Amino acid sequence: MIAFQAENLIENGTKRLFNFIFTSHLQMMDENGNMTKTEISTHKLEQCNISHFNEFDEASTYNVVIYYNHQKLLKDQLNDYYCLPLNYSLQIQGTQKSNIFQYGKISVTICSSDDCYSTDEIQQFQRLGYFNNSFKINTLMLNRVPNLNIPNNYISYIYSDYYIQAKIGQEIKTDVYLEQQQLSIEKSVIPGIKVLEQDHVFSIMENKLQASSVFTSNITRVASFFIRLSQSETHYYKEYYRFDELFSYVGGITQFLATILGYFILRYNQTGLQIKLANSLYQFDMPEKQKGQMVFSFQLLVNKIFESLKSIEDAVQKFKNSAHRIINLTRLAGGLKFINQQSYQNDDIDDEIVNHLATQQVPQTDKLKVEKCADHCHESNQTFYLQQDKKKFLSLIVQLILESRKKLSFGVHFLAKQVSGSFKKNTAVNYQSQLFEKSRKMILRDMDILVIMNKLQEIEKIKHVIFNKTQRKVFNYLQKPVVCVKKKINQDKYDQSLIHGDLKNKRDDTLRLTMSSKSLLGIRQKYNTEKKFNKLYEAYEELALAEDPNETEKIMNQRLLKLVEPTIQYSFNSLVEIEKLSRQLRYNKKKRVETQVLKPHNFKLGSSNEVEEEIENNFDIESITLNGQKKDNLYKKSQPSLPENKIKNLTTLQSSTRQLKDVQLNQIQSKQDFLDVEIISS
């Protein structure tokens, strides 16, 4: 819809000056190129009212101010505008060079009807100079614009205006193009079923509104507006998403999101798998903050192991001293018994001495027998408790080793540190991240499947050819390489009485990040468990205490024992020493039983030096340090010799000028102490 209005040049005029006439033209061209123009119809534009702009009442009008104030617009402006007659259908087609060209023309002329100024009045106005000034010819357009985003009505309206500057004596010509807007709407959402709705509207192309002026001698012609069809068309197509397209769209979005999320999930799983694999393959020297200082876990483990070894050595020393006391008591009781037997066999001994010895020795001998039996029982109990202590120390050492196995943790805290560390600089050192990077590189280097399979096949063959079943148990134990933050771990100085030079050298070798072929052996699903450590100790003990006459086997056993991790090696050596003591106690007990059975009744007690030598030979307990070496006179305690205790044989008693008056055996209440023997002579 379009309306026109011209400014009134006559001030305080009471009549109309201009008239608006619409003329429909038809231009036809025949086959010979002859052109004929025909004026089909002519209509005067009538004064506009609300009926001509009924679209103002619709909510789809863009100009909200005009929509809510249409009454004010009609009252103030529509009375001065002229519109086409109601219910008039405008027909346009073709172009200037087409066979049929139909268009409309709105002419603005000086009117000459009864309600207009007369010819004389117009000439007078011209003489007065009213027509020398220019004036405006305004248009009021309610343009139709397709909008497919509106759910119900797809046509929207835009209120706009266009004006031209006109002057009497010049004719202004303007082309108003109407462009066809084709609308096609597919409303079906089911695949294979089409429900197509089509419509079309004409919209005024405001970008093509251009005016041109032509001088004319006929002052009655002021302006002309040619309404014609535009050569261009605009097609609008809308369709709803069908179910198959919706599924495809959702699937595409899901696949895109899955690709992005899958990348992060893949990296997350890869990192988690690498950390899990690193925890299974390696042990980590994890730093811990204690009392404001950074302490590494391997250093703490060594300190705890050495503290445990001190208690083991104390127990070993205690059992050695107890064993020495038992042997001394046994030998002393035997010596007194043989003195009693010899005294009764000699007829030259004074009857008083014999009676005195008989009365004194009988209760003393019985008392010694009871004490000897009690001490033998105590010795058996010591052997039992020795085995129990060995098991307790083994369990303690295994628990210390298992608890010291630090692992890399993988979770939200680890990821947050990784992300924050990549964006920030000069932050605190992330030791766990450094350990993970080093272990990841080691995994990539060591996990070549071809190399692993070849080495496994080769080593399995060699292992079954060289070793027996027990040796394979020790050989199968694998120590994990230590992943360190620094290239070398700062080693503190430990107690020199516990650490020897070979321990330090072996520990340095272990801390180096070297991967030998043996690190690829064995089953790693359950690498270190308490049960496996117990089996390892049993095999270690069997090889350490084996008395193989074959020198090759002996050297092989020693080499295998040296391959064990230093902390485990020195812990097991202390337990092996306890086992040696236990075996020695059982051997001495068995030997005493055989000696008592095979010893003749006329056995004479030898000199004190012979008795001492026999004691040392029967109970030859080697004092062994943690590294398997003997300690010279570390635990050896000089025993009081028999001459110092005034114990003499029969010949000595007979040749003595002094007579034996009394023999007293004073026993300390504790069974672990020596028996003090005091011989009182006159």
**Nearest alpha-carbon partner for 457 in 521, 537, 523, 373:** 521
C-alpha distances (whole Å) from 515 to each of 251, 487, 504 are 49, 15, 20
Q: Tens of pLDDT along 443-494?
A: 888 777 887 888 888 888 888 878 888 888 888 877 777 777 765 544 444 4
Is the confidence at residue 16, as pLDDT, over 80? yes
**Nearest alpha-carbon partner for 481 in 273, 303, 305, 279:** 279
- The per-residue pLDDT of the chain, averaged, comes to 71
Q: Where are the beta strands (DSSP E) in 33-91?
A: 35-44, 46-47, 82-83
Q: Tens of pLDDT along 286-297?
A: 777 666 666 666
Across 265-274, 379-388, 589-598, 669-678, which has the greatest mean pLDDT?
Answer: 265-274
Is the confidence at residue 511, as pLDDT, over 50? no
Produce one character per residue of 638-673: b if its CB has 16 or more CB atoms within 10 Å, e if not. Answer: ebeebeebebbbbeebeeeeeebeebebeeeeebee
pLDDT (mean) for 274-279: 83
Is the confidence at residue 657, as pLDDT, over 50? no
Assign residue 628 a region: left if phi > 0, alpha if psi is -120 to 50, beta otherwise? left
Classify residue 153 by its DSSP letter. Answer: -
Q: Is 136 in contact with 163 (CB distance < 8 Å)?
A: yes
Give kind and range of the element (H or E) at residue 483.
Answer: strand 482-483
pLDDT (mean) for 286-315: 69
Helix 351-403 and helix 530-544, axial crossing angle in degrees, nearest 10: 130
CA 380 to chain centre: 57
What local confidence, expressed as pLDDT, does residue 72 receive? 54
What is the share, in percent, of the chain residues with pLDDT greater than 90? Answer: 7
Cα 28 to Cα 528: distance, rounded to the nearest angstrom: 104
Is the confidence at residue 654, as pLDDT, over 50? no
Structure tokens at 347: 């007829």
* Nearest-10 Cα torsion for 303, 309, 313, 315: 120
pLDDT (mean) for 195-202: 84
Cα 476 to Cα 463: distance, rounded to the nearest angstrom: 9
Cα 336 to Cα 610: distance, rounded to the nearest angstrom: 16
Is the confidence at residue 405, as pLDDT, over 60? yes
Give kind and range of the element (H or E) at residue 296.
Answer: strand 293-296
Report the DSSP beta bridge partners of residue 227.
Answer: 104, 176
Cα 515 to Cα 518: distance, rounded to the nearest angstrom: 8
What local confidence, expressed as pLDDT, does residue 297 receive? 66
What local confidence, expressed as pLDDT, does residue 522 receive? 40
Structure tokens at 537: 């100790």
Helix 431-446 and helix 412-423, axial crossing angle in degrees, nearest 10: 100
Helices (H) and strands (E) in the chain, counts: 16, 18
Structure tokens at 210: 């251009």
Provide the 3-class DSSP secondary structure of residue 77. coil
Provide the residue count of the chain.
682
Structure tokens at 372: 């000897």
Lowest mean pLDDT among 33-42, 225-234, 409-418, 605-614: 605-614
**Nearest alpha-carbon partner for 223 in 137, 162, 141:** 137
Q: Tens of pLDDT along 54-68?
A: 665 444 454 544 444
Tell me the HSE value of 184 on the side-chain side, using a 13 A CA sphere: 6
> Letter for the amino acid at 586?
R
What is the share, in percent, of the chain residues with pLDDT greater than 70? Answer: 61
What local confidence, expressed as pLDDT, does residue 100 receive? 92
C-alpha distances (whole Å) from 296 to each of 7, 16, 171, 490 are 98, 107, 102, 9
Whose tokens are 């497919």? That residue is 148
**Nearest alpha-carbon partner for 609 in 643, 576, 560:** 643
Q: Is 308 in contact with 621 (CB distance < 8 Å)?
A: no
C-alpha distances (whole Å) from 413 to each of 79, 239, 431, 547 are 78, 50, 13, 55
C-alpha distances (whole Å) from 302 to each of 314, 489, 497 are 19, 13, 15
Is the confidence at residue 432, as pLDDT, over 50? yes
**Nearest alpha-carbon partner for 80 in 170, 173, 160, 5:** 5
Neighbours of 590 (CB within 10 A): 10
Cα 657 to Cα 186: distance, rounded to the nearest angstrom: 144
pLDDT (mean) for 32-48: 90
pTM here is: 0.41
Cα 64 to Cα 159: distance, rounded to the nearest angstrom: 10
Neighbours of 220 (CB within 10 A): 16
Q: Is 485 in contact with 513 (CB distance < 8 Å)?
A: no
